[in-house]
């Protein structure tokens, strides 16, 4: 893809074929160009992360959304020692342990609760490889918890049976390599909650000795039961099993024998805020990403990640996008489609809605091409 961009020009696409344009050009015009298809794909959203990169929180719970239906997520957390522990803890006996979760995200009915099971995770998992459609094997039940659907701190005392079993591990040098965290599986829930890294920890006390801290080191979220389709809208969901594909009919479009100088790709989302009752917390994604992808999916080129405007619209407008359109128009591109996605750092379960069902002619997407016809 990079070679294709080089072949179609450098930083300024308006210089493409300048001599030909000067000799045989018509009048420069702005032409609207509609997509030929706009549909769901099966690429799971990236939902794993650590303190350095990726998702910012673990999401767990379920909510009945008035527009999207059931939204649910299973969360996963892992910990590492915050520092070298002194000998009084390492030679003692663990008498108390608890999980401290700092909840900074709520989606759903804030007047309700979220009941979930805390379960063991027997095998190691890589946060950088966790997507919404991944699988993490879970083990035995540790404890069950009911928490209010509000922001704040949740403290979960761990049972004596778990402490007795894990006492040697908690005080060993091999904790980070041999302990693989917990899964948070909703059982009855009115909201999805999110745990952030800061101020979330596993705490343990030994007798004799002080209380020590194991800090949250990585998170992951896996989508639960997929939401039922709503034929009134096309969805781009955060933390879900799929993004959106957009294709343009370059072979049948209005831009044959033209030099493209600029491309503005504009999206308009639909507002559905009136559908939500008082007390229902809604967190919409604020940033959206676009990349160009080859037919076999092995080549991908990032176009940009941009913020939504106040009116729910967003417009991609840069040299990369213009060069991609020009290359495709000249028949020199392996571009098959654009993929729209939500960056992992947003770490939520909200969604954006577009007008009409998938594949309709007017989904609120339009490209505007500034071009010069070649006579």
Structural domain boundaries in the chain: 2-41+243-373, 49-223
Q: Is 177 left (phi over 0), alpha (psi -120 to 50) or beta?
A: alpha
Count other C-beta atoms under 10 Å from residue 5's C-beta: 19
Q: What is the pLDDT of residue 330?
A: 83
Q: What is the pLDDT of residue 228?
A: 65
Model confidence, pTM? 0.87
Q: What is the pLDDT of residue 356?
A: 60
At 167, list the tokens. 């006492």
What would the 3-class secondary structure string for 235-256 be? EEECCCECCEEEECCCCCCCCC
Q: What is the pLDDT of residue 362?
A: 55
Cα angle 305, 311, 317 (rounded to 5 degrees) comes to 35
pLDDT by residue, tens only, the chain of 375 residues: 443 443 334 444 444 444 444 445 578 899 999 888 888 888 889 999 998 999 999 999 999 999 999 999 999 999 999 988 888 888 889 999 999 999 999 999 999 999 999 999 999 999 999 999 999 999 999 999 999 999 999 999 999 999 999 999 999 999 999 999 999 999 999 999 999 999 999 999 988 778 899 999 999 999 987 666 677 888 899 999 888 999 998 877 667 778 899 999 999 999 999 999 999 999 999 999 999 999 888 889 999 999 999 999 999 999 999 999 998 888 888 889 999 999 999 999 999 998 764 444 555 889 999 999 876
CA-to-CA distance for 346 and 351, rounded, in angstroms?
11
Domain at 2-41+243-373, CATH from 1.10.620, 1.10.10, 2.30.30, 2.60.120: 2.60.120
Q: What is the pLDDT of residue 67?
A: 92
Q: What is the pLDDT of residue 375?
A: 66
CB 264 within 8 A of CB 305: no
The DSSP symbol for 84 reads P
At 317, list the tokens. 């407008």
Taken in order 4, 6, 12, 17, the sign of the CA dihedral is: negative
Around 105, how many Cα atoms within 13 Å sit in the side-chain half-sphere?
23
């Amino acid at each position: 893809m990079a070679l294709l961009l080089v072949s179609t020009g450098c930083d300024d696409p308006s210089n493409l074929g300048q001599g030909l344009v000067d000799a045989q050009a018509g009048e420069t015009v702005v032409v609207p160009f509609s997509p030929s298809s706009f549909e769901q794909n099966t690429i799971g959203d990236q939902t794993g992360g650590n303190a350095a990169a990726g998702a910012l929180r673990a999401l767990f719970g379920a909510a009945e959304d008035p527009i999207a239906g059931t939204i649910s997520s299973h969360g996963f957390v892992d910990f590492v020692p915050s520092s070298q522990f002194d000998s009084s803890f390492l030679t003692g006996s663990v008498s108390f342990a608890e999980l401290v979760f700092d909840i900074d995200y709520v989606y759903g009915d804030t007047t309700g609760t979220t009941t979930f099971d805390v379960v063991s995770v027997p095998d190691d998992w890589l946060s950088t490889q966790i997507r919404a459609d991944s699988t993490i094997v879970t083990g035995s039940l540790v404890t069950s918890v009911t928490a209010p659907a509000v922001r704040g701190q949740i403290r979960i005392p761990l049972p004596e049976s778990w402490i007795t079993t894990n006492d040697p591990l908690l005080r060993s040098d091999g904790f980070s390599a041999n302990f693989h965290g917990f899964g948070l599986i909703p059982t009855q829930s009115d909201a999805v909650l999110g745990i952030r890294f800061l101020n979330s920890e596993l705490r343990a006390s030994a007798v004799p000795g002080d209380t020590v801290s194991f800090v949250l080191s990585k998170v992951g979220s896996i989508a639960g039961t997929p939401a039922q389709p709503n034929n009134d809208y096309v969805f781009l969901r955060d933390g879900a099993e799929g993004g959106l594909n957009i294709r343009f009919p370059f072979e049948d479009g209005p831009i044959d024998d033209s030099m493209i100088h600029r491309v503005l790709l504009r999206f308009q989302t639909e507002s559905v805020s009136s559908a939500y009752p008082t007390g229902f917390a809604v967190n919409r994604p604020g940033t959206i990403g676009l990349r160009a992808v080859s037919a076999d999916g092995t080549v991908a080129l990032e176009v940009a990640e941009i913020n939504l405007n106040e009116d729910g619209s967003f417009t991609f407008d840069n040299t990369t996008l213009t060069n991609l359109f020009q290359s495709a128009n000249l028949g020199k591109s392996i571009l098959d489609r654009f993929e729209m996605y939500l960056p992992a750092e947003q770490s939520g379960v909200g969604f954006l809605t577009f007008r009409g069902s998938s594949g309709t002619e007017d989904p609120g997407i339009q490209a505007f091409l500034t071009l010069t016809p070649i006579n």
